[in-house]
Structures are given as C-alpha cells and as structure tokens.
Amino acid sequence: MSELLFEIGTEELPAGFQKPALSQLKENFIRLAGELKLSHGTVVTMGTPRRLALLVDDIAESQLDSREKVMGPSKQAGFDADGKPTKAAIGFARSRGANVNDLQVIDTEKGEYLMLVQETQGVALSELLPDLLSDLMQGFSFPKSMRWGSCAATFARPVQWLVALHNGSVVPFSYEGMAASNMSRGHRFMANKDVELESVASYEEVLACCFVEADPAKRRAAVITEIEKAVAATLDSATTKVAVDEALVDTVCNLVEKPFGVCGSFDEKFLELPDEALITSMREHQKYFPVVDTENRLMPNFVAVNNTDVKDIALTRTGHERVLRARLEDAFFFFAGDKKLKLEDRLDALTGIIFQSKLGTMLEKTDRIVKLTGLLAEKFAPDAVEEACRAARLCKTDLLTDMVGEFPSLQGNMGRAYALNDGERPDVAQAIQEHYYPKRAGAELPASDLGAIVGLADRLDTLSGCFGIGQVPTGTADPFGLRRISIAILHIIEHFGWNLPLADVVHKALSLYGDKVNGSKETVEQVVTFIQGRFVNDQVGRGAHQEAIEAVTSVGFNDVNDTLKKIAALTAIRDKDDFAVLAASFKRIRNIIKDNKATVVSEELLTEEAEKKLAALFEDLSSEVEPMLERYNYNDALAAMLTLKGPVDQFFNEVMVMAEDDAVRSNRLNLLTAISTLFLKVGDISKMQSST
C-alpha cells in the first residue's frame, strides 16, 4: 500500500467554486480508481483560494489481477460439421485478442456455447498515475472557465503549479506543458515562496508553517474565532456580539488562506436604514459581519476578515471604515430618495418592467395577482380581503426603487419598509415582505395569512402563465424556476392547512391571461400534474411512505392537504394484519371489474348467502363511512372498511362472480365496483401489497 498527494495551484478561485470543485475532485478520483480496479483507503480533499488538494492513503501499488469469463457464439455457430472454426468463432477470438485454440466449449441452459477465459495481470500504479491525474484535471466542471497564455485547456483560473507525489516521489506528469513537482507555494503575502512537500501526513503542517490553513473546516472555525476575538478586543463582549451569518462565514472562509479579524465602526446615522439594507450593504459588497447587542439590535460596528496579519491595526481599521462609509452613504442616499415617492405612486411605472415577453408587463401581472389574491382571501381570510388585495397591489412596486436596483436581494424587505413609511397598515407591509417567502428550498415560510395568500397568487400566476405559453421545464432547463415555485406552493398550502382545489385556481389563473395563453382543460391538467410530480418527489424526499403516496396520487391529486391526510391514514393502517389480506382482495376486485362503472345493486338478484351478507354489510358501511370521508376522517373510515375483509373473502370463496346469467353477473360486478369506488375515495390500496 502507498499514498498519493496531488495539489493543483491556481490564481485565486472564486469563493463559490471551491467547495463544488473539491467534491468533484474526490468523487472523480473514487470513480476512476474504481474503474481501474485500484483499492484505496481514506480519500480527503483540502483547499484554499489558491489550491485544490487530494490526499489518498493506502492506495494499492497495482491493479488487482483479473480473470474474466466471456461468452461467445454457440458451438453450432462457431464450428462447422467438420469441427473447423467458422468466421463467428475466429471473429470472437480476434475481438478479444485471443486465439481460436483458447476457446472452450461449455454447457449452458441454452445448450453448448463457446467461452473464453482471459486472465489479465494488474498494471502498476506508477504506470497508471499520469493518465489518472490527467483525467482528474479534465474532470472539473466550473460555472465559468477560462484559457490563459497559449493553453488549449480551460480551468476556473490559470493553473500556476502542480504537485504530484507517490510515496514522496514526483509523478512524471504534466498538464499543458507544466510539469508536476514537489514544490507548492506559501501564503501569497506572508510567505510568498516555494514550499517543499513530502507526504500526506505532513501536508497540513508544512503549509501551516507558511501561513496557509489548508483544511476548509479548520479555516472556517478560525474565521469564527477571529471575528469573535476582534469584537472582544474592541468592544464590551458582555453587551455586544457578532451576528454570525453562516453563509457569509462560508464565503469568507473561501476568500482567505488564513483569517485575521478587525473590528471597526460607522456613523450612527446609518442605523436609520432598515436593518436588512444595512446588513446587505455590509455583507454583499464588503463581506463584513454586523455587530448586535444582547437584544440583537444592530450596533454601529462591523467586523472585517483580512487575508493578512497587519502591524498597524488602527490603519487597517480606518481603511475598512472608509470603504464601508462610501457604501453606506450610497445606501443612505438611495433610501432617502426612495422615500420621497410613495409605493402607490410607482404603480404605473410597472409598465416599464416586462414580466415575460408573451405574458406582458409587471403591471399586468400585478392586476392578475390582485384578482387571484381576492379570490383566495375570500376563502381563507374573509375578514381581510381588502388588506390582502392592497398588499397584492403594492407587492411589486419596490422593484422600481433605487435601493432594490442596487441590492435585488432586498425586494420585499424594502417594500415593507417603504410601505410603513407611507403609512400603510402593518399587516399589509408584512404581507409585501412575506409574499417572497420561501426564497429558497427549506427557507422561512410566510408567518401571516396575507403574506401566504399574496405569495400563492404570485406563484400560481407565474406557473400557469408559463405553462399556458408552452414554457414547460425540460430536463435541467427551468429558466423560470417552476419546480422551485411549485415546491413553494405546496409548502405554503401544507403549512397553513388550507384545502385548495388546485385545478380550480389554476383555471382561474389561466383565465385572467385572456387570449395571451392556452387556457384549455389540457393546460390545467398539465399544470396540476406538474405540481403532483413535485409533490411526490418532495414527500418521498421527506421520508413519507412511497407506496401510500402512489396509492393516493394514482387515483387523483387536487387538494394538497386532503392528499396528505389520505397518505397518513394509509401509512398508519398498512401494518394491520387484516389490511394485507384486504389489499390483495382489492387487487382481485380491480382485476375482475375492469371497465365496469355501474354501482347499482338489485337486491332481488342476490341469490347466494355470501353475496347477500356482503351487500348488506356494504350498505351499512357506506352510510357510516361517507360522513367520515366528508369530514376528511380517513383513519376511522379505513378502520371501518377493514370490516369488509371477512365478508369479501367469503364472497370470493362461495360465489361465482362471472355467472352465466347476464343480469346476475352484472349485479355482482356492480357490487364489487361499488366497494372499489368507496375505497378509491381514499386510495388504490392494491398499490400497497408489497409493503404488507
């Protein structure tokens, strides 16, 4: 066993490129090693803005010897009547690099066939490494790549050096004319020199001596330590702390090779800005962390993270403060200017923003959102229809403000701030902000009914309109984020427990577009089916019982929370002994009735005792279960339905369904169809046989 150390030195990589690149490096090595039949131990990747490194322990010195049995043509096709090899046998042997004499005849279930046993000696790792490393270099997929100098290959940033060591010895490998060596580089500013690497075990330690923390996890922890230390050194740590933004920590971690924190301050007048605007100004442009008091109120302070240690901390602090002040002055100017014009006065200007070339302007979209919001509010917030529609009317106007133009991520947040400044009701302002929630998968959902209603209206309008003009997601192409929009619709409806017939509201959303879209029944079905697909994937991903999901959604999907209740009821009852037998009987019923639709049973045509008993029990059961189904009480309904297990078994044991008499046969099919119809109001339980 041996070890491999591979480091790719580059110009500074963008922060967002590093984690995916390290994942690809690890995954690609494991895949390639598997294809080459090279066993190995632990695979670790490390990286900084200037390097991507692969460290492998216990990698085999050579491939495993292999012995492969390859089947060829039949003996009859491979040899003629005189026992001489035919073209089929000769061609098979040649294709495998063997001689006809190497072929064996073996007996199989299909008769005698030719077989070739090939034994291959494993190739030494030293011979495989150059090609393996070359494949690793070419296996990256970056959001953007570039060429440099005379290189034909591309990479995220120019490659500056390569380290490739096998058991401490340099691998004879080159990439675009750059030969690998054992020399890495230290910190660009604090140790700008070549550094000799020797082994996997000493990799981190050697670089640490050159002010490089190669392990991203350790460097991330150091970032948090540094920003906390910077605050403690400058402010009263008993009353102040850093507001740690985990995403910003990740970004900063990938901007430095060794972090050094410095705490600065800014003019208190900037605290007049909305918190979101102030934080965004610090975070997006400068990558600064805000400071808060014990009640999480913003303080006129910030923490910056440098890539170098500085001798004059006061001078560095002044530099950061000067840069931030310019940013905050811009934000303050935008905020003051935006407040001069009310959101309502910006409405007409929405005609200048195109929502989608075929679907019209943002003002037209706003009009549709208002109408959809009114429809939803009448159902789910009847006492606040006016407020909901007011929020819908204003929800997109902050797109026209200078602040949102500078910081698009503040849309909704600035809408809320400006609405409050205009004297709008607090619940209206909150709904303007929340209608964008959730902003991404797993993110915060709206807290208010009004925010949820406006958000639903906005998303349903987008989803329906795109399908109405044929803009349907295909493969990985989803330019309007319709998958994400559908998941948001599902999560909002589920969170608030609303019973909303999707087909009805999608039909309404399409009708509001007029002749801009295809508002046919087929389009409605297409939209609902698309949402259903996202629902199934989402529920499976969250650990719901897959066969219960299929049992319910295969019958129909229109009301999200009704569907969830049915899935929960089937999941809860699936382990009962009687359910297993009943599910099997139900499948038999479905196979027998086929396309029979009638459910009317004539009592005078019931001749056998078992069918009389089943019909009588079913009549009583229907009267008991139907009210339960109307109240969405699927648990009790299914428990009651289980009482059919015995009578159904007896019916099949004693009654010939396909009787010679047409009327009797039809009557028995109608009875089974009626039973099937009742069960299908919850789900097709025959789909759950494998789980029972």
Instruction: Judge whether residue 262 has pLDDT over 60.
Output: yes
Helices (H), strands (E): how many in the chain?
25, 18
Length of the chain: 692
Assign 47 a pLDDT band (cuts: 50, 70, 90). very high
Instruction: Judge whether residue 369 has pLDDT over 80.
Output: yes
Domain ranges of the chain: 2-62+124-208, 66-120, 216-338, 354-543, 563-691
Assign 69 a pLDDT band (cuts: 50, 70, 90). confident
Mean pLDDT computed over 547-576:
93
Separation between Cα atoms, residue 263 and residue 298, nearest integer Å: 14
Separation between Cα atoms, residue 572 and residue 278, nearest integer Å: 50
Asked if residue 353 lies in contact with residue 365, where contact means CB atoms within 8 angstroms, the answer is no
Separation between Cα atoms, residue 82 and residue 98, nearest integer Å: 22
Query: Packing angle between helix 521-541 and helix 502-511, nearest 10 degrees?
Result: 130
Predicted confidence at residue 691, as pLDDT, reads 47
Does domain 354-543 fall under CATH 3.90.226? My reply is no
Instruction: Judge whether residue 67 has pLDDT over 80.
Output: no
Separation between Cα atoms, residue 600 and residue 511, nearest integer Å: 38
- Token pair in block for residue 136: 């690793």
Mean pLDDT computed over 31-58:
95
Separation between Cα atoms, residue 554 and residue 257, nearest integer Å: 54
Q: Spell out the SS3 assignment of 463-497.
A: HHHHHHCCCCCECCECCCCHHHHHHHHHHHHHHHC
Q: What is the dihedral of CA 377, 383, 387, 393, to 10 degrees?
A: 30
Asked if residue 156 lies in contact with residue 14, where contact means CB atoms within 8 angstroms, the answer is yes
- Determine the residue type at 289: F
pLDDT tens-digit profile of 212-242?
A: 999 999 999 999 999 999 999 999 888 999 9
CA atoms lying within 13 Å on the CB side of residue 670:
16
Instruction: Judge whether residue 264 has pLDDT over 80.
Output: yes
pLDDT tens-digit profile of 479-496?
A: 889 999 999 999 999 999
Instruction: Judge whether residue 316 has pLDDT over 70.
Output: yes
* Residue 395 CB burial class (10 angstroms; 0-12, 13-18, ≥19): buried
For residue 642, what is the DSSP state?
G
Enumerate residues 6+ apart whose C-beta is below 8 A from 559: 499, 500, 501, 502
Site of tokens 């995403």: 247
Separation between Cα atoms, residue 493 and residue 574, nearest integer Å: 26
301: enclosing H helix or E strand = strand 298-306
pLDDT tens-digit profile of 589-623?
A: 988 998 899 999 999 999 899 999 999 999 999 99
Predicted confidence at residue 117, as pLDDT, reads 85
Q: What average pLDDT does the chain have? A: 93
Instruction: Judge whether residue 690 has pLDDT over 70.
Output: no
Predicted confidence at residue 1, as pLDDT, reads 66
Predicted confidence at residue 479, as pLDDT, reads 86
Mean pLDDT computed over 31-49:
94
Asked if residue 15 lies in contact with residue 49, where contact means CB atoms within 8 angstroms, the answer is yes
- Determine the residue type at 210: C
Mean pLDDT computed over 318-339:
95
- The predicted model scores a pTM of 0.79
Separation between Cα atoms, residue 419 and residue 533, nearest integer Å: 38
Predicted confidence at residue 692, as pLDDT, reads 42
- Determine the residue type at 140: F
Which of the two residues, 70 and 256, has the higher pLDDT score?
Answer: 256
Site of tokens 């702390």: 241
DSSP of 121-167, one letter per residue? PPPBHHHHHHHHHHHHHHT---SS-B--TT--S-BSS-EEEEEEEET
Site of tokens 């959604």: 553
Separation between Cα atoms, residue 411 and residue 291, nearest integer Å: 23
Separation between Cα atoms, residue 352 and residue 630, nearest integer Å: 48
Alpha carbon distances (Å) from 252 to 247, 316, 325? 9, 18, 20
Instruction: Judge whether residue 210 has pLDDT over 70.
Output: yes
Mean pLDDT computed over 397-413:
94
What are 44's strand-pairing partners? 55
Which residue in 624, 621, 628 sits closest to 644, CA to CA?
621
Asked if residue 535 lies in contact with residue 490, where contact means CB atoms within 8 angstroms, the answer is yes
Instruction: Judge whether residue 506 has pLDDT over 90.
Output: yes
Highest CATH level, class, for 563-691 = mainly alpha
pLDDT tens-digit profile of 426-470?
A: 999 999 999 999 998 888 999 999 999 999 999 999 999 999 999
Enumerate residues 6+ apart whose C-beta is below 8 A from 321: 264, 265, 266
Predicted confidence at residue 137, as pLDDT, reads 95
Alpha carbon distances (Å) from 260 to 210, 305, 318, 321? 15, 5, 16, 16
Predicted confidence at residue 477, as pLDDT, reads 82
CA 676 and chain centroid, separation? 37
Predicted confidence at residue 333, as pLDDT, reads 95
Separation between Cα atoms, residue 500 and residue 380, nearest integer Å: 9
CA atoms lying within 13 Å on the CB side of residue 404:
20
Query: What does the radius of gyration of the chain's CA atoms come to, in whole angstroms?
Result: 35
Task: Identify the weakest region by mean pLDDT among 90-94, 272-276, 403-407, 494-498.
Answer: 90-94
- The fraction of the chain above a pLDDT of 70, given in percent, is 99
Phi-psi region of 3 (alpha: psi -120 to 50; beta: other; left: phi over 0): beta
Which residue in 181, 176, 179 sits closest to 163, CA to CA?
181
Site of tokens 């900084």: 48
For residue 273, what is the DSSP state?
S
